């Protein structure tokens, strides 16, 4: 995919062949994800995304690189108690309890034989998805652009070729306008019944937008450990509580402090296992990015659902379609029978009639009301039964 093909999507098109809802997907949403990917990658590859405490005999850069590549981890059971008393930071605690916590260890061991009361392993939660955030955001941006490329292939610039001259101007030379109006009327009269695939392709791409945005939400939820769906709701709920009752829900998804286990050979050749605590500044950026993304995707999914309901009303309601065409004509508007005669032909099936309406609606959306009325008038002048229109 060439870079200029992507940048062209964000330019104002001469001829409009899709809806505002469509543009929210391949322009607004793709821009949000691309910008977020750029911010995250800048902090990840051109900054210092991780800082770990010193380990004797090992360079700090080595420890930072090791823990970044081999991932950090949390202790989930130590995320809801009181910081500074039960643990140093949420999720940061020894993964083997020792010393003065025998009662807790025995309780976790369940009194089972063969389990030592002075050493009980605690389940770890690996935290490594932050390494892939920038790449995943970029791939998601491409997913939001994909339906537009599919629709562009189906449409194949037919509308742009048809509207060769600028008929949007209210005062073009009268001779040029009459020639263009006649040409468009003749084209429409000869092409009715050939736009069934056009309608199916457009409606399929609009439906794909809804499938894509909902699918992306589930993908992010899976990527972030099944915590994205309630991400924004949890934040709102916590913000309504008093400071004493609040829990940092963001630290469970994007921890700012985590642990890392570093292994090296000691002086006698044995393997030394050392724990280090790592600070993850990159997650400060990640959590803000996904807050914005959560609210935007929820709004986008809601708006797309409403728009699909609007399209469903168009598909099922032929009278509704005629009213939409009539609204694009200048006053005094022709009768319903005149509009129906210009849009449809009786021998066409349901898909062909829907395709004819969709194509004519896109054509009229790119022209002014007076020109639309002149095209419809020329069409009906060629039909003797509707010459009075």
Which stretches of the chain score pLDDT less than 70? 1-12, 43-47, 74-128, 164-175, 242-250, 382-389
Q: Which residues lie across from 366 on neighbouring strands?
A: none
The answer to whether the bond into 332 is cis (omega within 30° of 0) is yes
- Asked whether 238 and 260 are in contact (CB, 8 A), the reply is no
Sequence-distant (6+) residues with CB within 8 A of 338 are 376, 380, 386, 389
- Check: CB of residue 32 under 8 Å from CB of residue 292: yes
Give the H/E segment covering residue 270: none
Indicate the DSSP class of residue 29: I
109, 5 Cβ separation under 8 angstroms: no
Each residue of 279-337: pLDDT tens digit? 888 888 888 899 999 999 999 999 999 999 999 999 998 889 999 999 998 888 888 88
Give pLDDT, residue 143: 94
Reading the block at residue 208, the tokens are 């794909």
Give first-to-last CA distance, the chain, whole Å. 49
* Contact in structure between 284 and 298 (CB atoms under 8 Å): no
pLDDT of residue 101: 38
CB 31 within 8 A of CB 10: yes
User: What's the CA dihedral at 285, 291, 293, 299 to 10 degrees?
Assistant: -160
Distance, CA of 276 to CA of 261 (rounded, Å):
6
Cα–Cα distance, 139 to 146 (Å, whole number): 11
What SS3 string covers 75-123? CHHHCCCCECCCECECCECCCEECCCCHHHHHHHHCCCCCCCCCCEECC
Q: Nearest to residue 21, comparing CAs of 296, 305, 214?
A: 305
307/310 Cα distance (integer angstroms): 5
Q: What is the pLDDT of residue 312?
A: 94
pLDDT of 95 reads 57
Q: In the structure encoding, which two tokens stand for residue 213, read together?
A: 């945005």
Cα–Cα distance, 325 to 365 (Å, whole number): 9
As a whole number of angstroms, the distance between CA 60 and CA 121 comes to 28
pLDDT at residue 104, as a whole number: 38
């Amino acid at each position: 995919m060439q870079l200029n093909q992507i940048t062209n999507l964000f330019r104002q098109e001469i001829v409009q062949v899709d809806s505002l809802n469509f543009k929210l997907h391949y322009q607004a949403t793709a821009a949000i994800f691309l910008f977020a990917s750029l911010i995250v990658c800048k902090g990840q590859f051109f900054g210092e995304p991780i800082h770990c405490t010193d380990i004797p005999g090992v360079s700090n850069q080595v420890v930072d690189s090791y823990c970044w590549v081999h991932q950090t981890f949390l202790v989930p059971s130590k995320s809801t108690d009181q910081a500074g008393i039960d643990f140093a930071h949420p999720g940061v605690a020894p993964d083997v309890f020792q010393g003065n916590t025998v009662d807790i260890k025995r309780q976790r061991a369940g009194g089972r034989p063969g389990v030592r009361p002075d050493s009980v392993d605690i389940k770890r939660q690996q935290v490594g998805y932050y390494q892939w955030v920038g790449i995943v955001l970029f791939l998601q941006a491409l997913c939001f652009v994909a339906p537009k490329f599919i629709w562009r292939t189906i449409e194949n610039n037919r509308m742009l070729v048809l509207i060769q001259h600028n008929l949007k101007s209210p005062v073009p030379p009268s001779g040029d306008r009459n020639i263009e109006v006649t040409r468009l009327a003749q084209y429409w009269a000869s092409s009715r019944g050939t736009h069934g695939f056009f309608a199916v392709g457009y409606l399929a791409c609009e439906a794909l937008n809804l499938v894509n945005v909902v699918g992306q939400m589930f993908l992010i939820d899976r990527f972030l450990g099944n915590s994205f769906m309630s991400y924004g709701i949890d934040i709102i709920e916590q913000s309504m509580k008093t400071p004493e009752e609040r829990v940092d829900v963001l630290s469970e998804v994007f921890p700012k402090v985590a642990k890392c286990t570093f292994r090296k050979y000691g002086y006698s050749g044995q393997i030394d296992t050392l724990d280090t605590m790592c600070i993850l500044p990159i997650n400060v950026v990640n959590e803000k990015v996904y807050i914005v993304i959560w609210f935007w995707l929820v709004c986008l999914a809601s708006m797309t659902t409403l728009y699909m309901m609007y399209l469903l009303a168009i598909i099922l309601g032929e009278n509704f379609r005629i009213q939409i065409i009539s609204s694009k004509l200048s006053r005094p508007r022709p009768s319903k029978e005149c509009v129906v005669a210009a849009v449809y032909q009786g021998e066409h099936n349901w898909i062909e009639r829907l395709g004819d309406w969709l194509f004519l609606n896109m054509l009229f959306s790119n022209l002014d009301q007076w020109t639309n009325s002149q095209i419809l008038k020329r069409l009906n002048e060629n039909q003797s039964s509707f010459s009075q229109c």
